Amino acid sequence: MNYPTDNLEFFGRAIDEVKDRKELIALRKSLETIRQYYNMARLHGYHDIVKQVNIGEIASLLNMLSRRLLTLSLLEKPDSFSSQQLLNLAMSETSFSFTKIKEEELRLAANDLDDIRRRVANGINLRRDEKDPEWVSLYEEFQRILNKHMTQEVEGYSLSTIKETKQAYQSLFDSVEDYKTRMNRLAMNFGGDTMSARAFKHITQSTVVSDFPAIYQVLKGAKPLIDYQIGLNQGILENEAYLIAQIRQLARKEMMKTEVGKQLKRVDYDKLIRSLMEVYEGEY
C-alpha cells in the first residue's frame, strides 16, 4: 500500500492531494479487505493474525477516505448534497485543498479559514430549520461562501483572497449568532420549548412575541396540552387525521379562554395548526 497508513496525520495529508476518485476507491477496497480478513480471523480464533491488525486505526482510515470522497463529490456536484450532508462535511476536519501550502503565513491563514468555516457550519446546524426562510437564507449564503472557498483551495490561495473569504465567513457568523440569540430568546418565551418557538417563527416570520399577542397566547397555552395528550397516547403521532383534530380542538379551546386569544384571525388559526403539525412531524 503506497500510503502512510501507520500515521493518520500523514495519511490525511496524502489523500488530500488525490484528485482521482478511482485511486481512492481502490484504496478503500484494500482497507475494507483487511477489515474483512480481520473479522474472519477473529471469528475463527486466529489470534496471532488479530493481534497484527489495529482495527480501530483501519476504521479511522476508512472514515478519512469517506470524507475525502464526499469532498470530491461536493466539488463536482455541489447541488446534489442535502443541507445536512453539506453541513456535516463543513463541520468536519476535512480540507478541500489538493495542493500543499508551503508558505508558513499562508498555511496558518488557511487553517484559520478552515476553523471559521467549521464554526459557521456548526452554528447553522445547531438551529437547522428548513421551514424557516431566514434559516434558509443563512444556509444559502454559507453555500455561496463555501463554494468560493473551495474554488480558492483548488486554484491556490493568496493572502488577499483568504482575507476576503474570512471576512465573508465572519459577517455570516455574526448573522448566525444573532439568529441563534433571537431564537433562544423566543424559546424562553415558551418556557424553553424550541418546537413552539419554531412554530411561532413559521407562522409570523418574527421572533417578537409582543407583535403577535393572539398567536403567542394560543400557541403557548395549546402546545403543552397537545404534548400531554401525546404523552398519554404515543399512537396519536401515527394517525395524522386524529392528531390534526386534537390540535384543532385544543387550540380552539385555548383560543376561547382569553380576550386576547379570541382576537386570533381565522387565517392565523389555520397557519398555527399547519405549523404545529409540521414541527411535530419534524420532531417525531
**Residue 99 pLDDT exceeds 50:** no
The per-residue pLDDT for 94 is 59
The per-residue pLDDT for 281 is 85
**Residue 192 pLDDT exceeds 80:** yes
**Residue 98 pLDDT exceeds 50:** no
Residue type, 90: A
Q: Read off the C-alpha cell for 6.
A: 501507520
The position carrying cell 424559546 is: 187
Give the model's confidence band at 168: pLDDT under 50 very low, under 70 low, under 90 confident, else very high. Answer: very high
Average pLDDT over residues 86-104: 63
Closest to 200 in 3D by CA, of 186, 181, 210: 186
**Residue 12 pLDDT exceeds 90:** no
CA dihedral in degrees (6, 9, 11, 17; nearest 10)?
-160
- What are the tens digits of pLDDT across the range 26-38? 888 888 888 888 8
Query: What is the full DSSP assignment across 226-255?
Result: HHHHHHH-GGGGG-HHHHHHHHHHHHHHHH
User: What DSSP designation does 190 have?
Assistant: T
pTM, two decimals, is 0.70
Q: What percent of the chain has pLDDT over 90?
A: 43
Cβ-contact 91, 10 below 8 angstroms: no
Cβ-contact 242, 267 below 8 angstroms: no
**Residue 140 pLDDT exceeds 90:** yes
**Residue 227 pLDDT exceeds 80:** yes
- What are the tens digits of pLDDT across the range 53-94? 888 888 888 888 887 887 777 767 766 667 777 777 777 765
The per-residue pLDDT for 79 is 66
Distance CA 268, CA 119 (A): 36
Could you give the maximum distance between any two Cα atoms of the chain, in Å? 79
